[in-house]
Amino acid sequence: MDGILALWKERGMTSHDCVFKLRKILHMKKIGHGGTLDPEVDGVLPICVGKGTKVIEFLQDGGKVYEGEITLGYATDTEDRYGQVIDKTSITRPFSAAEIDEAMAGFVGKITQIPPMYSAVKVNGRKLYEYARAGETVERPQRQVNIASFVRTSEPYYDEVQQVQSWRFRVECGKGTYVRTLAVDTGTKLGVAACMTDLTRLASGGFDKQQAVTLEEVAQAVENERVSEILLPLEYALKDMPRVDIADELWQRVKNGSRLKACELQLKMMPEGPVAVFYNESAVSIYEANPKEKNGLKPLKVLRTEMENN
């Protein structure tokens, strides 16, 4: 069983919990997820099965879409509503929709983020959340991320009693973006404490909410012997990658991981990124430019060395 599954992760579960349960449901060990979701966040979690695990990194490189809620008035150590409050700003005058929209618009494009302490980013071999839980501080690395769209999707709501203000948002972003940090930084731009108070991932790895299935639905598919109806081929992860089809004479070399010339793959010019190599309509390898050889390419990942239907 090889392929990619779009799982709808429910709240209260870690991404690893989902993998653990799927190993039991599908009766196989070779399963991995294509992008961590926090336990308190629900949404689309791409799952790679069998040979599909070889293309996990390409699913993770894709864009993501989230919807959620930002609340002004307090900040937490985890940057969401589940952490300890570390700062408060009483919102005595609610911000106008125009002020909020202007602040959010400033984050569209390539921006620099500092990942939250409660995150899986590694510094000196340890994850940031391990430092945080131990009460230790460490300098966090800055990272460049891309925000394609960041818009308000509801009217701002002002709670006069609690002196906080909230609104719903939708964000389309690239790899490595921390939406929690985006919420905090929006508050900073407005000059007040803020955090993310709700989040759902609507799309990831080319999958959207409409394609996703629950763990219960996967179990039912196994019971009814209909897993093939919900499992997409590993080629799905390569759909946005340039494709090259090879004939029999190159197949032996490609499956053995041989280096090739661009002309052998019928490439008129050297590719700027990875190229998916297909044989008999199946993806068998991924090649990339070899910096040590003029007009040469080397295998980035060998996907198949045998053809099931060949």
Average pLDDT over residues 201-224: 93
E strands, the chain, are 3-9, 31-33, 42-49, 64-72, 74-76, 85-88, 109-113, 122-123, 126-127, 143-152, 157-159, 164-173, 194-204, 207-208, 243-245, 260-261, 275-279, 282-289, 296-302
Predicted confidence at residue 162, as pLDDT, reads 94
User: Does 286 score more than 90 pLDDT?
Assistant: yes
Predicted confidence at residue 156, as pLDDT, reads 96
Predicted confidence at residue 117, as pLDDT, reads 66
User: Does 310 score more than 50 pLDDT?
Assistant: no
pLDDT in tens, 63-103: 899 999 999 999 998 899 998 999 999 999 999 999 999 99
User: Does 21 score more than 80 pLDDT?
Assistant: yes
Average pLDDT over residues 275-283: 91
132/82: higher pLDDT: 82
- Mean pLDDT over all residues of the chain? 89
- pTM for this predicted structure: 0.87
The CA–CA distances, whole Å, from 79 to 89, 169, 272 equal 15, 16, 37
Among residues 17, 38, 77, 198, which one is catalytic? Answer: 38
The CA–CA distances, whole Å, from 25 to 22, 60, 163, 177 equal 5, 24, 47, 31
200/123: higher pLDDT: 200
Average pLDDT over residues 151-166: 96
User: Does 249 score more than 60 pLDDT?
Assistant: yes
Predicted confidence at residue 214, as pLDDT, reads 95
pLDDT in tens, 231-245: 999 898 888 888 999
User: Does 308 score more than 70 pLDDT?
Assistant: no
Among 130-139, 261-270, 274-283, the range scoring the smallest mean pLDDT is 130-139
**38 is known as an active-site residue:** yes
The answer for residues whose C-beta is within 8 angstroms of residue 85's C-beta and 6 or more apart is 74, 75, 76
